Amino acid sequence: MTKLTLNEDAVHELLAHADDDEQSTSVYWNEHKNLFDVQSDGTIIGNSVLGNASTKRSFLRDAAHYLLQYPLKKWARQYRTLGQCEKLGRKIAKRTGRQFTYDFLRHVFTLALIQQHRPEKTTVGNTLVIEDGFGTMASLILGHSPDTRVIIVNLTKSLTLDLIYLKRAYPSIGMALVKSDEEMDLALLDTAIRVIAVQADHCDVLYRAPIHLAVNIVSMQEMDLPVVEKYFHILRSNPAKTTSFYCCNRRVKISNFDEYPMGFLKIVSANGVNITIVINGHLFANDPMGIKQLCTDLWI
């Protein structure tokens, strides 16, 4: 009988395989994933390129971040739910023992942007986060509604961190690690499971899941083109009636945005660095953060 690997067991299983070779790893990630290790409490040893999840907090640091971020908020001030999304982001950062860094703020901007264009729908159905960093986007999506489920696909080492941080944000949440079609079907049927984790090499299981919203932030750029094509194929073939896709990537890095299999997709914004596209007619407007979204983080 099929049995799911849940919660702490899922984290331990991933930790045990964190250094395994993975076919879906690009040369870039092959190099970078060997530069850091993840411990069971979420501590990173070494240097990771996963973004800033600084745990340094104090009255002065918090105030400095707040003040330095203040001018950045003008990029997103037209989003009706910005205040609400920021409040949620700050709550999650506090619960997970993180500083509310610029990295967190830009994820908050993304949620507010998506909400602007899917006000009724952002928080229902299944959201696929293609990669994440410290579970940030997944935590924000989950924080919005008890009715949504997040599916995260990532390389094993990064996925471990995603799950550890998600569990910190939502200690009683049900998480399952899924490796086969049978396990995916079982997890999708279980309403207590709100996080389904998938290792990138097992991404074929995603074909089983209806995907209502998909999010990819600065990572397809670091994947090989056949891997990007595979994710597009999954999105196009998924059983949901409509799928919205928020995709924001560098134009050229490991993969070249112009070679993504866009097909009929409409490119809404292409300012040289940052792209937002749509699938099945859900139109996301031009991303106002543009180039600045990818600028150097604020390190304090």
List interacting residues with ligand SAM (CB under 6 A): 24, 29, 49-51, 103, 130-133, 153-155, 158, 200, 217-219, 222-223, 227
At closest approach, how far in Å is the CB of 225 from ligand SAM?
A: 11
Other CB atoms within a 10 A radius of the CB of residue 192 amount to 10
CA–CA gap between residue 34 and residue 47 (Å, rounded)? 9
Q: What is the b/e burial string over 11-31, where b = at least 16 CB atoms within 10 angstroms of the residue's CB?
A: bebbbeebeeebebbbebbee
At closest approach, how far in Å is the CB of 112 from ligand SAM?
A: 15
CA–CA gap between residue 13 and residue 5 (Å, rounded)? 8
When the beta carbons of 133 and 143 are compared against ligand SAM, the nearer one is: 133
When the beta carbons of 123 and 219 are compared against ligand SAM, the nearer one is: 219
When the beta carbons of 120 and 233 are compared against ligand SAM, the nearer one is: 233
Instruction: Give the type of residue at 257.
Output: F
SS (H, E, C) 194-244: EEEEEEHHHHHHHHHCCCCEEEEECCHHHCCHHHHHHHHHHHHHCCCCCCE
At closest approach, how far in Å is the CB of 297 from ligand SAM?
A: 9
In contact, 244 and 216? CB cutoff 8 Å: no
At closest approach, how far in Å is the CB of 228 from ligand SAM?
A: 9
At closest approach, how far in Å is the CB of 4 from ligand SAM?
A: 21
CA–CA gap between residue 210 and residue 227 (Å, rounded)? 20
CA–CA gap between residue 264 and residue 289 (Å, rounded)? 25
User: Pick from 158, 30, 27, 42: which is nearest to 96 by CA?
Assistant: 42
When the beta carbons of 19 and 147 are compared against ligand SAM, the nearer one is: 19
At closest approach, how far in Å is the CB of 159 from ligand SAM?
A: 7
When the beta carbons of 140 and 223 are compared against ligand SAM, the nearer one is: 223
When the beta carbons of 244 and 249 are compared against ligand SAM, the nearer one is: 249
